[in-house]
Structure 1
Amino acid sequence: MDSNDIQLFDQVIQSRYAARAFLDQAVDLQIIRDILKVASRAPSGTNTQPWKVYIVTGQKRLDLVKEVCQVQKNIFEKPSLADQYQESFAYYPKVWQPPFLDRRKENGSWLYGLLKISKNDHAKMQAQLLHNYEFFGAPVGLFFTVDRSLGIGSKMDISMIMQNVMLCAKARGLDTCPQAAWNKFHSIVLNHLNADKNEELVCGMALGYADPSHIINSSQTSRVPVDEFAIFLD
């Protein structure tokens, strides 16, 4: 790999971001197959390759979006209903500590600041939350599942194939948004996927062509400098 290849490779990684507004433009299924073929070279513990990937488009996508959005609207009206829809594993901590809490707040301020949504504007905040369950307008939804008998390491394996999918998509002019928001509705999602009873939903993902004119896609989230997280020992 020469210097030009390295620069291109770095550019793909650095240009990737979580797109939250997509064009109504179909994605060729062969491109998705190509992406998944390359992405499947992701490492996994003892080469178990524990992932299953469901690709949801067309009417299946519309049916899933309709049901989950309606359930979320019901929760807005009656918050106690949320108790019926709990994640199968804790993606986030129950209590946030710094510096993670600070970064989370910064991300929220950045996101809602771009959209000009104030903390007290509950209607707009609810509408933005619903966009998650519309795949932000993306024509393709991906769902990554794992066998429930496997350990936490298999979820790490799935995170690696997900990263590969996002980078392979970016290299082909597509954008993505990984979505843990779907996890609390895993019972609905898995039912629509006709998944086996031993499957657990790990994460969803929106895939499509990002809308370059939308303000939400106009900038990227920040990253802390290397010296803040890297410890070199000699």
Structure 2
Amino acid sequence: MTDTPIALVTGGAQGIGLACGQALADDGYFVVLADVKESVHDAAKELGGAGYVCDMGDVAAIGTLFDRIAADHGPVAALVNNAGIAMPGDFLSYDLDAFARVLDVNLRGVFLATQRAANMMVEAGIEGAIVNMSSINAQVAIPAIPAYCASKGGVMQLTKVAALALAPHNIRVNAVGPGSIDTEMMAGVNANPDAMKMAMSRTPLQRMGTAREIGDVVAFLCSRKASYVTGETIYVDGGRLGLNYVV
């Protein structure tokens, strides 16, 4: 058990999730990382926290995760629902099992984790914070990732619902919607000059964002500096959603 406030970050072994964990650790949280990858243990150790292997698309595994965190460390004061998958494919032949799998991880898993964390907070009298990882694809769309786009639109609405439901308990729920961020998912764009040119043509700040820039916004939303912010999705996209046309 620890007297330090506990923050759980799902999908935390690398990329944006790990950057969120680093930013929260810098803000004084004891950070717990969960991920399907075994490397989550080493990542958590670097932050002075704890790591757990968990598939956020598995209902039983999510329950076990929260039970273990409660037993090992205590109730969470902050939750970052970052775990997510895309599984691209052609719309006309998109596999129904793939669609279900994406929604299981990206939407159902977010709901279950939010529900479990919120119950922990209510029982412990914690005025906590929950941040869901949405995407600009909650507002715009890419035809090759229909399930991903649908799931992120759902996350946007789930964030609003949870914010309203948990406001009487002073638990704040917000979301962050990244644009083009320099992570492993964008490696193909980085390696292709034409793809990079296209991405930058619709990014007014003319660069990719960094994972830490997402992490810092997440940490802000988990802090008292955001004490009157709930039900919002903050898009960290270099100005992309505001762009009317490209040249």
TM-score, normalised on structure 2?
A: 0.24
Give TM-score, length-normalised by structure 1: 0.25
Higher relative contact order (CA 8 A, sep 6+): 1
Greater Rg by CA: 1
